[in-house]
Amino acid sequence: MVKKIENHFGRIDVLINNAGFGLFGTTEETTEQQARDQMETNFFGSLWVAQAVLPIMRQQKSGHIIQISSFLGLTTLPLLGLYNASKFAVEGLIETIGSETAHLGIKTTLIEPNGFATDWAGASAVQTSSDIADYNPVRAAFAESGDNPDTWGKPEATVEHILNLIDNQNPPKRLLFGKIAYQVVNDVYKKRLEEIENWKEVSIAAHGH
C-alpha cells in the first residue's frame, strides 16, 4: 500500500499512524491471545507502518510521523492494563524514531488523547472475561467514571488542530488532546517530580560512587 501511494503521489509527507483498539478487563483475566492481539495491533501495527514509510521520508529528507497514542501512554487506568502497556510501548518507539531521524528532516509527534466519542469503547472494543468477583468493585468504579458524557471528547473538534499541527514548522514531540488528558497528566507529572525529589538521596546513593 505504501508503494502504491508513493507511485501515485511521488512522495509521502505525512503519516498518521492510528491503528488501535481498546481491550477492557483486568490484567489477571486477560488471555494470552488477547494480550498478543492487543500488542500486535497497537504496537506492532504502528511499528510496521512506520518502517514502511521511513525509507521514503529518509530519501526525500523530510516527513512528519504523527502517532495517535493516548494519555494512557503517560499514566494508567485500571481495566486497561494491556492497552496501557501498548501505548507506553508506542511512546518509547516514536520518541526513539524521532531521535534517530531528526538530522534527516523527519519529525515525529505523539498525539495523546483522553477518551473520545468514537467506537474505541464501543463496537471495536474487546472485553476480557469478568469471572473473578474480587475485581467487581474496580469494575463498578470504572463504569461509573465513564457515565459522565463530558468525559468524552468530540472527534470533530480535533480536525482543525491536526491540520494546524501538520502545517507547523516546529511541531511538538507530544500533544495532549482533551481537557481530561491535560488535567490528569499535569497532575501525574507534578506527583512524579515530587516523588523523585523525595527519593533523591536513595537514587544518588544507589549509583555507588
Place of cell 527519593: 199
Neighbours of 187 (CB within 10 A): 11
Query: For residues 97-132, b (16+ Cβ closer than 10 Å) or e, as one string?
Result: bbeebeeeebbbbbbbbbbbeeebeeeeeeebeeee
- The whole-angstrom separation of Cα 52 and Cα 54 is 6
- The whole-angstrom separation of Cα 87 and Cα 79 is 14
Instruction: Look up residue 83 and give its three cell numbers.
Output: 492497552
- The whole-angstrom separation of Cα 30 and Cα 24 is 9
**Catalytic residue (one of 70, 87, 107, 135):** 87
Whether 83 is a known active-site residue: answer yes
The DSSP 8-state label assigned to residue 30 in this structure reads -
- Whether the CB-CB separation of 146 and 182 falls below 8 Å is answered with no
**Catalytic residue (one of 69, 70, 86, 107):** 69
- Whether the CB-CB separation of 38 and 67 falls below 8 Å is answered with no
**Catalytic residue (one of 46, 70, 83, 135):** 83
- Strands 126-127 and 23-24: what pairing? parallel
Whether 135 is a known active-site residue: answer no
Using alpha carbons, select from 93, 100, 1 the residue that is nearest to residue 39.
93
Whether 87 is a known active-site residue: answer yes
Active site residues: 69, 83, 87
